[in-house]
Amino acid sequence: MLQKTRGIVLKTTNYSESSIVAQIFTEKFGVQSYMVNGVRKTKAKNSANLFQPLNLLELVVYNKASGGIQRISEIRNTPVYMNIPFDIVKGSLLMFLNEMIYKSFKQETEDSQLFEFVFNSIQFLDLYQGNPANFHLLFLIRLSKYLGFYPDNSYAATSHYFDLKNGVFLKSQPLHPQYISQPYSNFVAQLLNIHFEDLENLTINAAQRKVLLQALIDFYHLHIDGMGIIYSHEVLEEILR
């Protein structure tokens, strides 16, 4: 049965000489795998460029309730990125976010709120005119809400520690090593209370950003089983120096 849905490309794998299998996070069906034949041919009807990581798509798909690899009837890249392909910082941020999203998502069923958040956040990044250096930090904090481990926003002036394991702010050092202290606990508190439009008000230097990013990656590892090693943040850190 043909169905219309929006989608976000997560990963593609080459299949045979000219085809691919694309894993796409869809608005209606969660994460699905789609066989796309002939896309790597020189005169392909649909270019392989449509399936770049985190490209935003409109799709008409054959949806089989039994699961397995699905098929695409029609595909369109919309909205088309205006800035990300030409901006090395935004492109590097997108590469990192793609790895985090791909290794975090287990959704094989519809989650429209999560989809809307990711779709709109990526659009915002593309069109954002300010400095996006801290975008990924806020994105990871906000994404954790949809994945079920959003921190408890209980920060106070005496909360010197943020417990990564339990997602809470504490006055005293926890008995386990999975925590961060000032100024990083304060940065987490700030991230919990701002919107993407307020990124310019967040003052974090490159050295602090590196430590905070590693803490947030550790936070994800503590709450998502089998997430695996994250690699792309090393490239991102070089770009954001």
For the chain, domain boundaries: 2-77, 84-239
**In this structure, how many other beta carbons lie within 10 angstroms of the beta carbon of residue 181?**
12
Topology of domain 2-77, CATH:
OB fold (Dihydrolipoamide Acetyltransferase, E2P) (2.40.50)
The dotted CATH code for 84-239 is 1.20.1440.120
Rounded Cα gap, residues 39 and 20, in angstroms: 7
User: Which residue ranges of the chain lie beneath pLDDT 50?
Assistant: none
Q: Scanning the structure block, which residue is given the tokens 């003052």?
A: 203
pLDDT at position 63: 84
Report helix, strand and coil shares of the chain as percent, to nearest 5: 40, 20, 40
* Contacts of 118-123 spanning 24+ positions with Cβ under 8 A: 118/8, 118/25, 118/143, 119/6, 119/8, 119/27, 119/56, 121/196, 122/8, 122/54, 122/56, 122/94, 122/97, 123/56, 123/79
pTM above the 0.85 mark? yes
pLDDT at position 17: 83
pLDDT at position 65: 77
pLDDT at position 202: 92
